[in-house]
Amino acid sequence: MLFIRPPSTITSKGLPVPRATAAEIADFAEKLAREAGELIVRERNENTLRTDYKDQTELVTHADIMADDYIAKAIRERFPEHRLLSEEAAPDRSQAEDLDTPLWIIDPIDGTVNYAYGHPQVAVSIAYADQGRVQVGVVHAPFSGETFRGILGKGATLNGQPIMNSGAEDLRQSLFATGFPYTKDKLEPLMRRLNAMIHTCRDLRRIGSAALDICWVAAGRLDAYYESVSPWDFAAARVIALEAGARCGHFNPVPEGYPEDLWGQDILICAPALFDRLRELLHRA
């Protein structure tokens, strides 16, 4: 059985602290994701949506901040010695380079533009990593009522039922997803890749949430996904896809010493038989 390192090894009474299992961590993460999901649904349905911009380009809502604070507070109360990497409250990506302390990776609303426009493709994403490996991932889509969950070595589920990737083998018949950055000053290489993919695969789907893109690959609704994103966008979904039998990697090298599970540049996640051909195609493009 996979065990998670506890926040402390000795209680105030000098007794050993029971270790939390990966399943217990996953239950805790799922509970938080569902509760945060209820919060963001309530905020969109009942209150006036307040928005702002980060770095003059990236949309953020008051619900992003509220959900991020809610999740972070609960984790700090239960695991005070664990670290947090979250999109809103703690976006320091260098946290991913420290492998000595367990790390939670949080995106309170993946698909903020969808959320602001009233679209349903929105997710709460929570991952738990130890020693640079993501052990647990939960992605909860509150508007569709779907909860994806993966535990390293234990499989992946959707609403408690096992899921598997599509098993697609024909690149010409494959359906893929990708996304585009908020800043538009470096689109040329992205358009070259998109052009190569459109002319090679069946078609493109633009969902607007990287976490759901990847979970849809895990569930066989898509055959492939590629993009460059931040750790909080994909860390939870990646372990779900991995446990659903998808192949996860990159089409350009990962910097030496950086945990592959948390490196978000040039990621590729797809049915196993498609991986080598797509990696070569995207690398050349």
Beta bridge partners of 158: 148, 161
Q: How confident is the model at residue 211 (pLDDT cuts 50, 70, 90)?
A: very high
Q: Which domains does the chain have, with CATH numbers?
A: 3-162 (3.30.540.10), 171-284 (3.40.190.80)
Does pLDDT of 19 surpass 50?
A: yes
Q: Which of 88, 130, 227, 233 is catalytic?
A: 233
Q: What is the mean pLDDT of residues 197-214?
A: 97
Three-state secondary-structure class, residue 191: helix
Query: Does the active-site annotation cover 48?
Result: no
State yes or no: 87 annotated in a binding site: yes
Query: Does the active-site annotation cover 10?
Result: no
Spatial neighbors of 142 by CB under 8 A, at least 6 apart, are: 34, 37, 38, 40, 41, 122, 123, 124
Determine if the pTM surpasses 0.75. Answer: yes
Query: Does the active-site annotation cover 107?
Result: yes
Angle between helices 210-218 and 231-243 (to 10 degrees): 0
Q: Which of 30, 43, 64, 87 is catalytic?
A: 87
The chain-wide mean pLDDT, for the chain, equals 90
Query: Does the active-site annotation cover 112?
Result: yes
State yes or no: 261 annotated in a binding site: no
Q: Which two tokens stand for residue 106?
A: 């949080």
Q: Which of 40, 64, 68, 112 is catalytic?
A: 112
Angle between helices 275-284 and 188-198 (to 10 degrees): 140
Query: Does the active-site annotation cover 243?
Result: no
Query: Does the active-site annotation cover 64?
Result: no
State yes or no: 4 annotated in a binding site: no
Q: How confident is the model at residue 17 (pLDDT cuts 50, 70, 90)?
A: very low
